[in-house]
Amino acid sequence: MHAVDPNISQPPAQIRQLDDAAINRIAAGEVVERPASAVKELVENAIDSGAKHIDITVAEGGKRIIRVEDDGCGISRADLPLALSRHATSKIDGTDLSNIHTFGFRGEALPSLGAVGRLRITSRIAGDDAFEIEVSGGAMSPVRPAAGRPGTIVELRDLFYATPARLKFMRTDRAELQAINDVVKRLAMAEPYLRISLSDATESPRVLFSVDAETGPPVEALSRRLRAVLGRDFSDNALAIDAEREGLHMTGFAALPTYSRGSAVQQFMFVNGRPVRDKMLIGALRGAYMDFLSRDRHPAAVLFIDCDPQLVDVNVHPAKSEVRFRDPGVARGLIVSGLRHALAEAGHRASSTVAGETLGAFQTPAQGTRIYQMDRRPNPGFSAPPQSGFHEADQAFETPSARPAEPLQTTEVQHRPLGAARAQVHENYVIAQTEDGIVIVDQHAAHERLVYEKLKRQMAENGVASQALLVPEIVELGVDAARLLDLSDDLALLGLGIEAFGPGAIAVRETPAILGNVNAEALIKDILDELQDVGDSTALKARLDAILSRVACHGSIRSGRQMRSEEMNALLREMEATPHSGQCNHGRPTYVELKLADIERLFGRR
């Protein structure tokens, strides 16, 4: 390391004004991280122009060419050079940055792209001719006449050719193309009345994604758009969301807990129509499903939060993917309460994909000529070995693994959602007959959920009993102590009593009795870590719910226990009346419903 002698004065470094080309290349590093970023900026500009149709073409993962064509209002000849100037925009006048109604407003995207690639804009406004302008590595050409339809075509070639070091950080063409596809799908979800397509022209042109403009009321249009983008499974297993709180309005769709994913690939958040990736919102989504999913599963949801632009700041980062609410607690509370209310209203409903996976697990005979039992000719030299299982019909219920339910006095119960119990097999699964199929219930998982919900209701009604510590535990937190003390009333409702103990420290005087011996310092620091990460903490409630879940597991009907007919039917009726009974405490389904038509297809009857 080169040391500078402090006794020798050094001349101060000279301050220089960077030229526009350097400024644009620096800005491009924030705005255009990869080809997907460029596509996002260009498509958002097209949407802001009032376009109804947008066609996107890319080649080599967007590194060689990105072309976005729209039928929007266009750019006049006089405005084309200005559109390539930094901080020049038609979307705001600069007097009020807190009242933004468009995707773009910073005026950085086009000059940034022109600084690191070869950019050409061809545009035509109504009643005028088309004109084009080019910029390459920051060098702008004069405006010249061109041919084109009303609207704008932006063509970006050789992205990052002017900054070759950035090319080293690009991923494979396939990975970049997938990132572009994800961006286009997010924007397609935000604009259901827009027709949008994405094509790859690397070798032979092929359409990667295309959706037509939807029609009808917003909720129906969004539902159809989500079915087109995310697939039928999500649409069939999603609950419509509509909730409002203190000026914030949340709409969208959230999937049932039994339709969970292995990663957060189907979590989409929009604020005033803008796709965002905000850790506070994602944390709230996770918190809403906390009671229904294990830690390795992730909920699926598409949520739109709309509010007065004055209540949210979208000018947090040049990429505009983060937002900051004036009152983040209200936004988080809206997501948690709105989703939990919708999940509660879903009652015992479970994901339809569970039945599909169950049917898929059945093995069907190999394809070819079907051979039925009566068509088989015995082989004189073959002696069949004894087979296990049921050999004759009259022996079927003699085995301990299958017990019939007693005949019902009435068939009315069969018309209930979970039907009438007909048998118990392997001392763990209740078979019920419904009006148009059968239901298979995991008796232990179902009863565990019922007991858990009962325990939660009791705790909510009676509060959380606390135990006083003989010697208060002092926890040093520094400047974070004040932040935790602000939540002391909320923590007290959960059985955790804290108070100030000098500067930068708190005294833990009570802990929840149900937790038994607990490391108070570790619990306090877990709560504080979550506060710093997502702005709110569910650590203590999660610990309490985990204990209740464990108690529910030990207090529920065990696998291997034989149940009487009235017990089986009582279990089914209680499941129908209890919210969230369609999944166990870990998000697994408590029952599977198979329609008669699907069963008949398994046997070739349809």
- Quote the CA–CA distance of 424 and 568 in Å, as a whole number: 8
- Confidence band, pLDDT 50/70/90 cuts, at residue 366: very low
- Quote the CA–CA distance of 421 and 308 in Å, as a whole number: 53
Residue 419 contacts residue 433 (beta carbons within 8 Å):
yes
Q: Which residue has the higher pLDDT, 543 or 458?
A: 458
Sign of CA dihedral 510, 516, 521, 524: negative
The tokens for 497 are 């009593």
195 & 227 share domain: no
- Considering the domain boundaries, does residue 11 fall inside one? no
Q: Which residue has the higher pLDDT, 593 or 415?
A: 593
171 & 295 share domain: no
Q: Which residue has the higher pLDDT, 27 or 576?
A: 576
What pLDDT score was predicted for residue 101?
59
- Among 116-120, 122-126, 596-600, the minimum mean pLDDT is found in 596-600
410 & 529 share domain: yes
> Most confidently modeled of 385-394, 469-478, 586-595?
469-478
Question: Which CA distances in Å does 569 have to 394, 441, 575?
Answer: 25, 11, 10
What pLDDT score was predicted for residue 319?
64
Once rounded to an integer, what is the mean pLDDT over residues 477-503? 82
- Considering the domain boundaries, does residue 6 fall inside one? no
Once rounded to an integer, what is the mean pLDDT over residues 111-118? 84
Query: For 145-154, how does the pLDDT look when each residue is reduced to its tens digit (9 = 90+)?
Result: 998 899 999 9
423 & 500 share domain: yes
Last residue of a domain, which of 345, 379, 414? 345
What pLDDT score was predicted for residue 516?
74
> Most confidently modeled of 7-21, 47-61, 284-298?
47-61
Name the pairing type of β-strands 53-59 and 195-200: parallel
CA 117 distance to own-chain centroid: 34
- Among 63-72, 75-84, 94-103, 594-603, the minimum mean pLDDT is found in 94-103
- Quote the CA–CA distance of 461 and 459 in Å, as a whole number: 5
The tokens for 27 are 């800005």
Query: For 193-228, how does the pLDDT look when each residue is reduced to its tens digit (9 = 90+)?
Result: 999 999 999 877 899 999 999 999 999 999 999 999
What pLDDT score was predicted for residue 256?
87
507 & 445 share domain: yes
What pLDDT score was predicted for residue 268?
95
Query: For 257-300, how does the pLDDT look when each residue is reduced to its tens digit (9 = 90+)?
Result: 888 888 888 999 999 988 988 888 888 898 888 877 877 788 99
Rounded (5°) CA angle 556-561-562: 125
Cβ neighbors of 205 (< 8 A, separation 6 or more) are 57, 199
pLDDT at position 391 over 60: no
Which domain covers residue 184, as residue numbers?
A: 20-211
What pLDDT score was predicted for residue 257?
85
- Considering the domain boundaries, does residue 366 fall inside one? no
317 & 272 share domain: yes
Residue 576 contacts residue 427 (beta carbons within 8 Å):
no
88 & 234 share domain: no
Q: Which residues of 324-334 are buried (b: 16+ CB within 10 A; e: fewer)?
A: ebeebeebbbb
- Quote the CA–CA distance of 157 and 123 in Å, as a whole number: 17
- Confidence band, pLDDT 50/70/90 cuts, at residue 314: confident
What pLDDT score was predicted for residue 392?
34
Last residue of a domain, which of 211, 240, 255? 211
Residue 430 contacts residue 409 (beta carbons within 8 Å):
no
What pLDDT score was predicted for residue 237?
87
CATH of residue 114's domain is 3.30.565.10
485 & 565 share domain: yes
- Considering the domain boundaries, does residue 364 fall inside one? no
- Confidence band, pLDDT 50/70/90 cuts, at residue 562: confident
197 & 227 share domain: no
The H helix count followed by the E strand count for the chain is: 18, 24
Going by the DSSP 8-state scheme, the letter that residue 568 receives in this structure is: H
Once rounded to an integer, what is the mean pLDDT over residues 502-510? 88
Average pLDDT, the chain: 79
Residue 292 contacts residue 590 (beta carbons within 8 Å):
no
- Considering the domain boundaries, does residue 575 fall inside one? yes
- Quote the CA–CA distance of 570 and 556 in Å, as a whole number: 14
- Considering the domain boundaries, does residue 170 fall inside one? yes
Position 565, amino acid? S
236 & 191 share domain: no
What pLDDT score was predicted for residue 349?
64
pLDDT at position 424 over 80: yes
- Considering the domain boundaries, does residue 356 fall inside one? no
Last residue of a domain, which of 176, 211, 246? 211
Query: For 523-558, how does the pLDDT look when each residue is reduced to its tens digit (9 = 90+)?
Result: 788 777 767 665 555 665 666 666 666 666 666 676
Position 230, amino acid? L
Cβ neighbors of 101 (< 8 A, separation 6 or more) are 272, 309
pLDDT at position 508 over 60: yes
Rounded (5°) CA angle 136-63-316: 80
pLDDT at position 448 over 80: yes
Closest CA to 285 of 271, 269, 262: 269
Cβ neighbors of 35 (< 8 A, separation 6 or more) are 58, 61, 62, 63, 66, 159, 170, 176, 179, 180
What pLDDT score was predicted for residue 377?
43
pTM over 0.95: no
The tokens for 15 are 């301050």
How many independent structural domains does the chain possess?
A: 3
- Quote the CA–CA distance of 338 and 332 in Å, as a whole number: 10
- Confidence band, pLDDT 50/70/90 cuts, at residue 375: very low
- Quote the CA–CA distance of 292 and 588 in Å, as a whole number: 9
CATH of residue 467's domain is 3.30.1540.20
Once rounded to an integer, what is the mean pLDDT over residues 166-189? 90
Maximum distance among all Cα pairs of the chain, rounded to whole angstroms: 109
> Most confidently modeled of 168-177, 375-384, 549-558, 576-585?
168-177
189 & 249 share domain: no
Closest CA to 456 of 298, 579, 338: 579
pLDDT at position 131 over 90: yes
pLDDT at position 304 over 70: yes
Once rounded to an integer, what is the mean pLDDT over residues 115-130? 90
- Considering the domain boundaries, does residue 387 fall inside one? no
Name the pairing type of β-strands 301-306 and 267-271: parallel
Going by the DSSP 8-state scheme, the letter that residue 487 receives in this structure is: T
- Quote the CA–CA distance of 121 and 166 in Å, as a whole number: 24
- Quote the CA–CA distance of 585 and 291 in Å, as a whole number: 7
427 & 532 share domain: yes
